[in-house]
Chain A
Amino acid sequence: MIHIHVGIEHELHLQMYLQPDAQGAPICSFNVTEDLGELIEETFTRGVLAEKFPADPATIHVNIRPIYLQEPAVAKVQVQLVAGENGEAGTYYQDYTAGRWIRTAQWKALQLRESGRLSQDQTAYRLLVALERSSGALPEAPLLQSPPVEDSDLDAAGVRRFSEGSLESDRPVLVNARFAADAIRRCEEAGNQETGGAVLGKLIRLPQPLPGTETRIVTILASLVEDPRHVGMAAAFNFSPEGLVEAARIGELRGLGESVLTVFHSHGWSPHCRNCKPKVGCLLAKSSPSLQDYEMLSLFPSKGTLMPIAGRKPGVQGDRPILRIFAWRGGQLKAIRWQQYED
């Protein structure tokens, strides 16, 4: 159990305005200080997976400070982790321009439109402000746990040959070529209905980092397990808990040390995507995480979670859907580079 000491002299508030220059009274305001817990966890997990921060220190001191655009307006939030006494075990930091407050603002804008307080063509502008902490309340320290990583080599992990793609230096992700092909094929076949399934995989620690990377820890997404109990429809995909538990059992039976590392889903595809015209309205979602997809991640609370999504590339003509892999970066899920392998 890691003991965490959080140091912060401010509380954060999200304000929403009708004017882009934040003039006039805000239409709503929320204390979002507790959203910092997610950023602490993301900083820790990224540092551990990048091998820039110890995986299991006895204590961590967390220092959080706003970086102002113009006080009290916040441009970034810096989260610094210090392990051990006086940082003898390591320090690591990340700057964040986003956090859960962005999603809160998006939900709130939807609610304001539904209630009529914001018209359909009106934009709500958000502003993050840091105010001196008025009470003793601190963001609750999150449960910091490093993900289990197995010492292995590429052969033992079933990686025979690399094919297309490239790697992020601090978060190398290898994707089995059959999984990538299955995901794209399923997306294409399902059309405007969403499809998906459980993804088996594991984290391994290689003897040496792969070329072009700085960490020995590699995430492997090995195979897609489909199950008829998961139900796809237009703009939604329901995961069956029983289906996911069955996938975990299949992972155990494979005997490769894999677990259900994440889930895959598609965002729809149409033959018209081959002639996509950027200015023509399209009902298919983009191949990037929706607000609902963020809610879905309560299935996988670790900030080391990846989210693979297949779908169209908006505004770009393509013969087939694309597969994108999203990782927690900067307080939100961002597409990262990944490399295919053949087993």
Chain B
Amino acid sequence: MVALNRFTMSDLARQKRVEVDLDGGVLSRAHSVAQAVEHYRDRMQIRDAGLRWTAFSRGVMLDGKRRLGELEVTDTEWTVMPEVSAG
């Protein structure tokens, strides 16, 4: 199996992006999808408002428990978002 080396997490509008290098960055293949999402939230300085965050790749939601080393080599463009309500 070919391993995923790099991926980008961005918002829906593709205006803010976090690039992740699994060889020598803060995240490794042992980290989970949920931890990568947490890293995105930290970099965007989005405070924890108790929202449920999800990541999508190729239109499919990624399981938060999956290790980054288990992802497909094509999972290079993630869209990250919370489940939110407008008031």
Contact = CB atoms under 8 A, between A and B. Distances in A.
B11 A237 contact: no
Given A196-B86, A236-B85, A263-B86, A300 B54 contact: no
Contacts of B61: 241-242
Main secondary structure of the interface of B (DSSP, over half): loop
Given A245-B79, A301-B16, 20 more contacts: A38-B45, A145-B16, A145-B17, A147-B13, A147-B15, A198-B12, A241-B83, A245-B59, A262-B13, A291-B87, A293-B86, A295-B84, A298-B46, A298-B84, A299-B81, A300-B11, A300-B12, A301-B11, A302-B11, A304-B15
A240 B81 CA distance: 10
Contact of B81 (A140, A194, A244, A285): A244
Given A143-B18, A145-B17, A265-B86, A299 B45 contact: no
A304 B11 CA distance: 13
A295 B49 contact: yes
Contacts of A305: 13, 15
A143 B44 contact: yes
6 tightest A-B contacts by CB? A292-B87, A290-B87, A302-B15, A265-B86, A260-B12, A147-B15
A142 B46 CA distance: 10
A293 to B, nearest CB: 5
B27 to A, nearest CB: 16
12 contacts: A143-B18, A238-B83, A239-B85, A239-B86, A241-B54, A261-B13, A262-B13, A295-B84, A298-B44, A298-B84, A300-B13, A302-B15
Majority-rule SS of A interface residues: mixed
A310 to B, nearest CB: 12
A299 B12 contact: yes
Contacts of B81: 241, 244, 299
Interface in B2-19: 11-18
A262 B14 CA distance: 11
Interface in A206-251: 235-242, 244-246, 248-249
Interface of A: 37-38, 140, 142-143, 145, 147-148, 194, 196, 198, 235-242, 244-246, 248-249, 259-263, 265, 285, 290-293, 295-296, 298-302, 304-305
A196 B85 CA distance: 11
A148 B14 contact: yes
Contacts of A140: 45
B12 A194 contact: no
A143 B43 contact: yes
B30 interface: no
Given A142-B45, A242-B61, A298-B51, A237 B12 contact: no
Nearest to A139: B45
Interface in B72-87: 79, 81-87
